[in-house]
Amino acid sequence: MYHSMLKIRSFENRVYRLFLQGAIPGTVHLYAGQEAVAVGVCAALQENDCIVSTHRGHGHYIAKGGDMNRLMAELYGRRDGCCKGKGSSMHIGDFSKGMLPALAIVGANIPIGAGIALSFKMRATDQVVAAFFGEGAVNHGMWHEGANLAAVWDLPLILVCENNLYAASTHVSKSFKVPRISDRSTAYGMEGVTVDGNDVLAVHHAALKAVEEARGGEGPTLVECLTYRHGGHSRGDPATYRPKDEVQKWLSKDPIPRFKSKLIEEGVLTSERAQEIERRTAIEVDEAVTFAEASPWPLPSSALEDTYPTSPIQADEPQESGQRQLTIGQAIREALREEMQRDDRVFLIGEDIGVKGGFGGPFGVTLGLSEEFGSERIRDTPISESAIVGTAIGASVMGMKPIAEVQYGDFIFCAMDQVVNQAAKLRYMSGGQVKVPIVLRIPTGATGRGAQHAQSTEAFFLHTPELKLVTPSTPYDAKGLMKAAIRADDGPILFFEHKLLYGSKGYRSEKAALQVVGPVPDGDYLLPFGKARIRREGTDITIVAKLLMVYKALAAAEELSREGIEVEVIDPRTIAPLDTETLLTSVKKTGRLIVVEEDTKTNGWGAEVLARVAEEAIDYLDSPMKRISALDVPIPAAPPLEQYVIPSEERIVRAVREIA
């Protein structure tokens, strides 16, 4: 333990000098002064236990047994770094040592740590997870959601608060009304303890107890470690906000000389042996610098590596036929049931999805699954979208196959960090160490419920690399695409389901009785991503539409056909990846293009479609392209107002007549 603490301090002291010399790019958040916490906790863990860290993670990495050479190379941004130079100081980790790459968003690692712990509990292993965070994280909503879920489910998670008194420059007295952060544990029904974080043995004893209870199924413990960082928040922070007498007081409690003196006093360590350890440590740090400086820069082209493939499943599409007529809701439920029967790693997580005798979520899609698979695999959660998505992420990186549901697409914004910063980036910034094979079910579209329950949220996520966006409009597509999404080894996949297409009493055309039921073949089948479907052949104009708008476009096409205008309707089925080939082939044939989208016009999905056509096929166009979209206002609740804002069949017909 003394050697580990000394390695961390020596490493950080060298990093400080190297950063000032310009050898280390970016920024660093040094761990010097807090060594007793990382070492005390990690010494209580088994090799196959896991830790999740935050931006001040060098000490956690070394204490968990990470390779110091590869750590230094990562800080240098070199190819042989633990994350191939893609993580840097704030995202270091070694998954082979049980350390998930560190997360730089404060509090984000708590729901993910809960998810890793959930995977251990579901598999009935005796593993535990230790989640390290500063005291500032305890005020974050993600911390609350993750801690509460871990307590409710008695997950084997140890919450390690490194209370160094300052969240960046904000003193703890300005952030908490309670005397101790561990006092907050009472509200969650978990154990809480405060220890001297500069006494490695005190930390170790508290960690041993917490680990023992977690392994025994007694749930999480909040361990608050009172400690002090020797420098500023980051290397750009002079820390002049800290009183000099306070700094001197804490420096006198430095955990390393304090522990060294104790070991010598008790006859465990001699001065000669201590000097030998110090010399060895200095050599190890020198070797780490030599290794880092000898490591080459990554090839520029490697920036395109460690990403997800375009399509997670390549499949031969079966014929869309069969005697059975299902709704989209029934088709999705059948896909979930079959995949859960096929693979015991698959489980569902979300609000109101599994209450026995309940309604199977707000749209009844999961109705009856809890009776068949039980509450362990149909997991009802508190109202905590960040915890739902974060827990799914944590379970997925450990090999589980979670399907997370948010009740309404509008609610996904509550988990925006977990989707955009964590799920979408973990594989890349870890240098390919981890994958996140999660499926997020997101009901979308306007249904008369008003501005906060009616948005079409798909376009928000098109801007985030690595996310796949699925938009089925038929029961056949819904089942085949859902099964493909679940079986994908890569992810994450956002599965958008229009609320008006779930049941047989869903969308009716404004001019014709058009109900969304359709043939779904018996047996197993998968559909590929990135392959559009031509819903109607035509020669005069191309309309691209998704989800509910497919049916409005088809109804408009039938009316226009009676006027001699033949419309080709393309349903992309997935908008990331997008089947550009089918789109361009159609536009080159018809010479005209309209995109119909339920989302607002400005910066919508349709703008991206038109941009691609403009780049690759503008010479084939015989008239300007058009977008038919919702008006640029929040979705109103009153039916006449909603109908005015959302694209109608009549608007589509008028737009076609203008350019046909």
Task: Parse the chain into domains and list their residue ranges.
Answer: 2-296, 325-519, 533-659
Percent with pLDDT over 90 in the chain: 87
Does 533-659 carry CATH code 3.40.50.920? yes
Q: Give me the catalytic one of 140, 230, 233, 453.
A: 453
Per-residue pLDDT tens digits for 416-460:
999 999 999 999 999 999 999 999 999 999 888 888 899 999 999
What pLDDT score does 517 carry?
A: 86
Q: What is the mean pLDDT of the chain?
A: 93
- Dihedral sign, CA of 108, 39, 5, 184? positive
Per-residue pLDDT tens digits for 553-574:
999 999 999 999 999 999 999 9
For 593-630, b where at least 16 C-beta lie within 10 A, e where not — what string?
A: bbbbbbbbbeebbbbbbbeebeeebeeebeeebbbbbb
What pLDDT score does 508 carry?
A: 54
Per-residue pLDDT tens digits for 217-265:
999 999 999 999 999 998 888 889 999 999 999 999 999 999 999 999 9
Per-residue pLDDT tens digits for 467-497:
999 999 999 999 999 999 999 987 899 999 9
Domain 325-519 in this protein, CATH class: alpha beta
What integer is the mean pLDDT of 190-205? 98
What pLDDT score does 489 carry?
A: 81
Residue 33 has pLDDT above 50, yes or no: yes
Lowest mean pLDDT across 306-315, 471-480, 504-513, 578-587: 504-513
In this prediction the pTM is: 0.94
pLDDT band at 513; cut points 50, 70, 90: very low
What integer is the mean pLDDT of 86-97? 95
pLDDT band at 512; cut points 50, 70, 90: very low
Residue 612 has pLDDT above 50, yes or no: yes
What pLDDT score does 311 carry?
A: 60
What integer is the mean pLDDT of 282-289? 98
What pLDDT score does 506 carry?
A: 45
What pLDDT score does 364 carry?
A: 87
For 61-79, b where at least 16 C-beta lie within 10 A, e where not — what string?
A: bbbbebbbbbbbbbbbbbe
Q: Could you tell me the CA-to-CA distances from 254 to 58, 251, 314 in Å, in that order?
A: 18, 5, 58
What pLDDT score does 523 carry?
A: 85
Query: Catalytic annotation on 453?
Result: yes
* Superfamily of domain 2-296, CATH level 4: Thiamin diphosphate (ThDP)-binding fold, Pyr/PP domains (3.40.50.970)
Residue 170 has pLDDT above 50, yes or no: yes
Q: Could you tell me the CA-to-CA distances from 543 to 406, 467, 527, 608, 612 in Å, in that order?
A: 30, 25, 22, 14, 15
Residue 514 has pLDDT above 80, yes or no: no
Cβ atoms of residues 572 and 532 within 8 Å: yes
Given this chain, do its domains 325-519 and 533-659 carry the same CATH topology? Answer: yes
Task: Residue 435: name the closest of 452, 453, 422, 420 by CA.
Answer: 422
What pLDDT score does 360 carry?
A: 80
What pLDDT score does 362 carry?
A: 83
